[in-house]
Structures are given as structure tokens and as C-alpha cells.
Structure 1
């Protein structure tokens, strides 16, 4: 594992994963998840108990189609589409009610980075409405130059999403900041410095192997800058 902190030159931009990196996903995901399955049962699209929450938490960072393959193996396309709709709407409702929470220190750290002139972006495999809804509801939208999601751009991997973002914004040097193997891969394959976030608890052992610097709390990002 790389050192917890190190001193690296300030990059032109930083690209952030959302769930498990900026946002405490479980603060809206779990209540939305259980409510979605209650509705699926009411509509006759699912029988039996709600799948264990560990399945959905362990799937964070994946594309939605892969999440439902894991959470609802063998389910119909209709059930998966409806589950998508319900989960998104429930999460957006909870965000509007003020239930979603950022990790400690995220807002202050983003404000500091923005003040230093670092261009800030989100790169997430989530749905467009969810990604934009989280950033808007948590009050940090003004710090970001743009928000990229697989749902909006139809990319098949985070590698492709990050490549598109870098190209469209003419970025030469950047850090990829995230908590899953997909973030490490996206950074590595696009020639970026990778900052591994080791505080969410959703990842499997070894997922952050290949990162350059690992942080145990979001504000430690500032300590990695020269």
C-alpha cells in the first residue's frame, strides 16, 4: 500500500467519484432501497424478502446494469427497469428532504481546492439525475466545473467516462480520487495520479491496489499537495 500521505505537485484538475468518496451514500440509499422493494412487492414484480443490503452496498461504483445483476440475479428486464426508477426517485425525494450527507470535511476541502484554482469535476457511474441531485442538495455545486455520469453520457466503463471528460475539457494533469477498483483503473489507464479513499467501507480487500496515495479521511487530500 502507498504511503498515507505524500507531497505531489498541484494538478490542473481533480476528478472525484461520488458514492463512498464525497457522499455518504447509505444515508439515502438504504431507506430508498427498502422502500423500492416494498413497492416492487406491491406491484407484483418481486416476491420474498428484500435482498441483503450488503449486495447493493458492495455494488457501489458499478454500472447500474451490473448492480441489478448482482442484487436481483435472474430477474426480468421489467423488474430491473422499475427498480431503477423507484430507487432513483426515492433517493431524490430523500435528498430534497435534507437526508443526504457528505463525508466530514468534504465541503471545506472542496472550497479550499477551488480557491487554490484546481478545476473540480465529478466522474460517476451513476444516473445523471442522481449525481446532479446529490451535488445540488448537498450545497457544493458551485465548486464544480462539470459533473459527468455514465447515465448521461452512455459510457460503458469509468475509463471511457474519464477519457471523455479529459478530452472535452482539455485537461493535461489531473488526480482521480475514488474508493473503488473502477476509480483506480480509470486513473491508471488515463495516465492520472490516483488517490485511494479508504474510509467508506464498501470496497473489497485489494481494490485500491495501484493507487499512488491513500487517504483515511477526505481532508487529507490537502496534505498530499505540495
Structure 2
């Protein structure tokens, strides 16, 4: 039986909080300089919606802006994030590498993320995650924009018969359930208790994944 564990990236494997706020602040500094934003950077609002696809982020943060301005802001934000990743200002969560190395001995590992391909590739390269993962899947690879459909693609393309989805938000938990996989919620930076209650298992440390029994 082909067993796999599918990981979310932001807030699950990668400590996005270390680069998110400064990158967002820099993006809104540009908007302010252009006269397109007044007031503080909406950090709290972004924390609330963390995990949704980026177009939804900008619709939520800047509802009065035109689509063109949102797309420009999105592109700038992506540049700022990748700069910080490549400068080594991010980090994986504690025990990530050791846990992944052990899990890879018994399971096929995949990443399924709402992040864009270029962003995910930067993280994979900097932290040499190709050592552990068979594939990285971005939300850009499916038309629907739904995490459940992305996980379904991972399952179908790799003939996965059983496994788990590890993530911090409701979209990860729902994707597991929609695809008859075990849902593992991680209680990290962006996680919300109301969402985690829907998970089959909730963990506070990635090394707890070593206790999983799949198949």
C-alpha cells in the first residue's frame, strides 16, 4: 500500500511569520508612497486570513483598489518575501529536518501549498527540501484554487492509497477529509483553535508526527 504524508508549507513547515510582517510592511510602504494607502499596515487582518490564496489576500486587504493595483501589490509582496527567504531570514519549524528525514524512510512526502510556485521553490532550494519531498505542488497548478482539489491532484498523480495531510488551517483539514486522509492540525503561529477542533489529531511539535500509524 502506497502511503504518503502531504504537508502545507506556510505556518506548518516554514515559519512564515519571520518574513511576513516586514515584507508586508515594505509593500504597504510603497502603496503609501504612491498615495494608495493611508494608515497602518493591516498586519492583524492578514493574520486572520493567513493561508488563503494571494488573490483573496489582496481582495480582503485592499477592497477599494483596482484589480491592476492588487496584482501589482501581489507581485511586489512576492518579490519582498523571496528576497527575505534567500537572505536566510526565515526558518523551518523546530525539529522539521530530523522529523522529515525519519518520515521519508517510511512514507512518500509531498508539499501542497496555497503559495505560488516561485515562492515555494525558493524555500525548497534554501532548505534543500528536495532531500525529503517527492514533489511540491502549488495552488497555481489547479484552476479551482481549492486546497482539496490540489491534494486530490497529489493523490491521483502519485497513486497514493492512504496517508495524512499536515497543516495549520481549515483548508488543510478540509482537504484531508475531502480526500479520505487523516487530518493533522499543527498548533503553530497562524493556527486557530476553532479550526483545529475539526482535525483528527492536533500536535504542538512536528516530531509528534513520528508517532503516526498510517495504513
TM-score per shorter chain, which class? over 0.9
Q: Which residue in the other structure is 1:100 paired with?
A: 90
What runs of 5+ residues in structure 2 fail to find an aligned partner? none
Query: 1:4 maps to which residue?
Result: none
Task: Give the structure 1 partner of residue 23 of structure 2.
Answer: 32
Shift in Å at residue 96 of structure 1? 1.1
Q: Secondary structure at the match of 2:206?
A: coil
Residue 141 of structure 1 is matched in structure 2 by: 130
Cα RMSD of the aligned pairs, angstroms, is: 1.7
Corresponding residue of 2:68: 78
Contact kept, 8 Å, 1:51 with 1:71, in 2: the verdict is: no
Tell me the secondary structure at the aligned position of residue 170 of structure 1: coil
Q: Could you state the TM-score of these two structures normalised by the residue count of structure 2?
A: 0.93
Q: Do structure 1's residue 214 and structure 2's residue 205 form an aligned pair?
A: no
Show the counterpart of 1:165.
154
Q: Does structure 2 conserve the Cα–Cα contact (< 8 Å) formed by 1:92 and 1:130?
A: yes
The Cα of 1:225 is off from its aligned counterpart by: 3.6
From 44, 55, 62, the equivalent of 1:65 is 55
Query: Deviations 1:26-73 (Å, cap 9, x if unpaired)?
Result: 1111111111111223344x2212432111222221111221122112
Query: Which structure's relative contact order is higher, taking Cα pairs within 8 Å and 6+ residues apart?
Result: 1
For residues 11 and 176 of structure 1, do their structure 2 counterparts lie closer, same or farther at Cα, with a shift above 3 Å needed? farther
C-alpha distance in 2, partners of 1:25/1:55? 16
Separation of aligned partners in 1, 2:181 and 2:78 = 31
Give the stretch that moved more between structures: 124-133 or 34-43.
34-43
Kept in 1, the 8 Å contact 2:165–2:176? The answer is yes
